[in-house]
Amino acid sequence: HGTLTMGEEVIALPPGTFGTYDRTMGHQRGLQGWNWIAFVSHAVRERDGKRCPIGIQIVRDILGRAKPAVLSRKYVVWIDGQVRKLPDAEFHYDRTDGSADDWHIHTQDTDEDWINLVFDPRFERRDEQHAALVEADFKQFYGPVTGTICLDGERWHIEEAFAVTEDSLLEL
């Protein structure tokens, strides 16, 4: 258990509460476009039923919407006390209306390491900016995510979690 402080408000967090934090620093490219998903939950190992915390963050530049092209692939999972990299992931969803249908986030299936997630967007937050020096269309979607991950040939089933995804375009 612990507390979360937002401004002057202190919020008590019950035992078992999870959270995630994203901070980006560095040189920002003139044209950016990315997809992102992050969540924290529990996973159950298929082989023996072992249950442990899991955290996943996947970021992928959308080719053609990011220049100069930098293949930013931040695929990481924290599970059973270890941080692990994941293979290259893809995001499949209706780009014209990100809240219309489920999102499918997956990697190529291999014998050793892969991920297969289904995200159900329930809420959306959008920020559009059209100014002389900035063109931005930033969309965040919130909702439940479920799926399976395989690490070193071991399958883990992710318990339903609350996730945040992004579909973003930024031109400076």
Mean pLDDT of the chain: 83
Question: What does the alpha-carbon distance between residue 127 and residue 52 come to, in Å, rounded to a whole number?
Answer: 36
141 or 13, which is more confident? 141
Per-residue pLDDT for 144 more than 60?
yes
Angle at 161 between CA 126 and CA 2, to 5 degrees: 95
The reply to whether the predicted model has a pTM over 0.85 is: no
> Which phi and psi (to 5°) does residue 98 adopt?
-60, -15
Per-residue pLDDT for 65 more than 80?
no
Question: What is the reported pLDDT for 86?
Answer: 84
Span 90-116, average pLDDT: 84
Per-residue pLDDT for 5 more than 80?
yes
Per-residue pLDDT for 160 more than 60?
yes
Question: What is the reported pLDDT for 21?
Answer: 67
Question: What is the reported pLDDT for 112?
Answer: 73
Question: What does the alpha-carbon distance between residue 35 and residue 166 come to, in Å, rounded to a whole number?
Answer: 5
Q: Rounded to whole angstroms, what are the CA distances from 164 to 5, 20, 80, 89?
A: 21, 10, 22, 16
Question: What does the alpha-carbon distance between residue 130 and residue 135 come to, in Å, rounded to a whole number?
Answer: 5
* DSSP state at residue 60: E
Span 93-112, average pLDDT: 83
Closest CA relative to residue 81, chosen from 43, 52, 51: 52
pLDDT tier, 88 (very low <50, low <70, confident <90, very high otherwise): confident
